[in-house]
Structure 1
Amino acid sequence: MRWQPARLVHRRVETPSAHTLVLQVPGWTAHVPGQHVDLRLTAPDGYQAARSYSLAAPADGDRIEVTVQRVPDGEVSPFLVDGYREGDPIEVRGPVGGWFVWRPTQTDPVLLVAGGSGVVPLMAMIRARRAAGSRTPFRLIYSVRTPTDVFYADELRRRVRDDAGLDVAYVYTREAPDGWSGEPHRLGLADVNTHGWPPELTPLVYVCGPTGFVETVSDLLVGLGHPARRVRTERFGPTG
């Protein structure tokens, strides 16, 4: 893979600390939902810094989307969220990855389990399902700290309403919205058992989030009877 020149053409605010960046990458061909790219910035003195980010949507011609969450004291993410302007250059390398992917030709039920910003590659799958007119049943269990931390909140509400066969359930770990039944808690066995697919339906499962979250959810799924080979995982640490 080689580095390709790109520029920012648009941004969307997702949460107070996360923005979606729409990048124009001349010559971009295609990618598969679940893949990621490397982004590289070069300072005037020649210093370079690169980070990996999941692709948030199917390709739109030569445009791609990534959602970046600001990491306190980070080297790259604060600039991308707060200082990167439309028209500014950046370099892109990718797409990367071939295991943690979903293709619209797949018809098995899909369970998506996201922790925080781990929803980004899973949102790419949800968007690709819609774009392809797929009827594959999707369920998303999305664990976040508070309602203001939900990525793509308005779009997810619309898609639950308009995309037949898509269900979304939220787990709030620190603060729940007004009128929410139950108390904030970490995602547990009852959540997976209630909102996921039963193992006898042999769903394909994608789990993405911090390492501890992914390990916990994977253990819960296998304990419920899901074959380990059907559980695909993507772990990450803070991307500064």
Structure 2
Amino acid sequence: MARAAVPGRLGDRLRWSVAEVTGRHVESPTAVTLTLDVPGWPGHLPGQHVDVRLTAEDGYSTQRSYSIASAQDGTRLALTVQRIPDGEVSPYLVDELVQGDRLELRGPVGGWFVWRPEQQEPVLLVAGGSGLVPLMCMIRARHAAGSRVPFRLIHSLRSPREQLYGPEVRRGSPGLDVARIYTREAPAGVERPAGRITPEDLVRHGWPPDFEPLVYVCGPTGFVEKAAAYLVLLGHAPERVRTERFGGSGSQEDSQGRGALRRRLQGRPCRP
């Protein structure tokens, strides 16, 4: 059984630490998981995220936030990054960062959108695209803790090519049920035609409201707002529906100049 994650003091979590890339795994044509070693890492709770800062030799610096994908494991943690077209940071992390490179981390961050192994109520996870990342951290933490709390995951994604953690999710674990909703291209043999998530999907694959599950919804803003509204209309208590959202291309990712980071770093590791 993994030890309980006990995040450090606030001052420690707000301090920048140097992390070294110890591995990378291609999840899909547009996403990779980076394994990092962070000496002095204070631990994290499932659902938290970190700030990542990259600095070029000329002093140019930029930062973004990424959810933690791995359960607590000493000084190691994993981030899954989805490449955003015309983005500034994600293309560098996905396409150019290699084993031995370094970057700076600050965290863990967040205290509301978290799951703790001592919680006993059923859990419903609703993910849109790469919103699966912090929810996968919860799934892994549940497995590491030997928890028998029943989990249900509903993952909405465009096509089978964008599946994250495919083999691991398919293997699953006792008490974990997984349903996939394909919005643009469904694989052969799937009964449900491609289309966006509906209240019927949440009824079919989720928990009844009278089970009083704790619900976590993560994904793009539009997806999160719609899914959360459906859940409340179906009778789930609003205070039991926790949400985490992220923007897309055209917002935070490219606001500081497309390609600026790549030009300055010229394919070299960042300077911590």
Q: Return the TM-score normalized by structure 2.
A: 0.86
Q: SS of 2:63's equivalent?
A: strand
Q: Distance in 2 between matches of 1:41 and 1:195?
A: 40
% identity of equivalent residues: 62
**Greater Rg by CA:** 2
- 1:60 and 2:70 aligned: no
- 1:85 and 2:98 aligned: yes
Aligned partner of 2:206 among 196, 213, 226: 196
Map 1:85-234 to 2 at 5 A.
85-159=98-172, 163-234=173-244
Aligned partner of 1:18 among 31, 38, 58: 31
Unmatched 5+ stretches in structure 2: 1-13, 254-272
Q: Distance in 1 between matches of 2:47 and 2:72?
A: 12
Q: Distance in 2 between matches of 1:137 and 1:176?
A: 27
AA aligned to 1:155 is: E
Q: Distance in 2 between matches of 1:182 and 1:142?
A: 14
AA aligned to 1:61 is: G
1:138 offset after TM fit, Å?
0.2
AA aligned to 2:188 is: D
**How many corresponding residue pairs?**
237
1:219 offset after TM fit, Å?
0.7
AA aligned to 2:169 is: L
AA aligned to 1:106 is: Q
Query: Are 2:182 and 2:194, in contact at CA under 8 Å, matched by a contact in 1?
Result: yes
Q: Distance in 2 between matches of 1:169 and 1:206?
A: 15
Q: SS of 1:10's equivalent?
A: strand
CA deviation map 1:119-167 (0-9, x unaligned): 00000000000000000000000000000101111110011xxx11100
1:178 offset after TM fit, Å?
1.2
Query: Are 2:72 and 2:141, in contact at CA under 8 Å, matched by a contact in 1?
Result: no
AA aligned to 2:231 is: L
1:60 offset after TM fit, Å?
1.7
Q: Distance in 1 between matches of 2:92 and 2:245?
A: 23
Q: What is aligned with 1:29?
A: 42
Q: Distance in 1 between matches of 2:155 and 2:214?
A: 17
Q: Distance in 1 between matches of 2:96 and 2:166?
A: 24
Q: Distance in 1 between matches of 2:233 and 2:86?
A: 38
Q: Distance in 2 between matches of 1:224 and 1:112?
A: 16
Unmatched 5+ stretches in structure 1: none
Q: Distance in 1 between matches of 2:112 and 2:46?
A: 11
Q: SS of 2:43's equivalent?
A: coil
Query: Are 2:20 and 2:100, in contact at CA under 8 Å, matched by a contact in 1?
Result: yes
Q: Could you say what the CA RMSD is over the residues aligned between the two structures, in angstroms?
A: 0.8
1:61 offset after TM fit, Å?
1.3
Q: Distance in 1 between matches of 2:17 and 2:117?
A: 27
Q: Return the TM-score normalized by structure 1.
A: 0.97
AA aligned to 2:225 is: E
Q: Distance in 2 between matches of 1:217 and 1:182?
A: 18
Q: SS of 1:122's equivalent?
A: helix
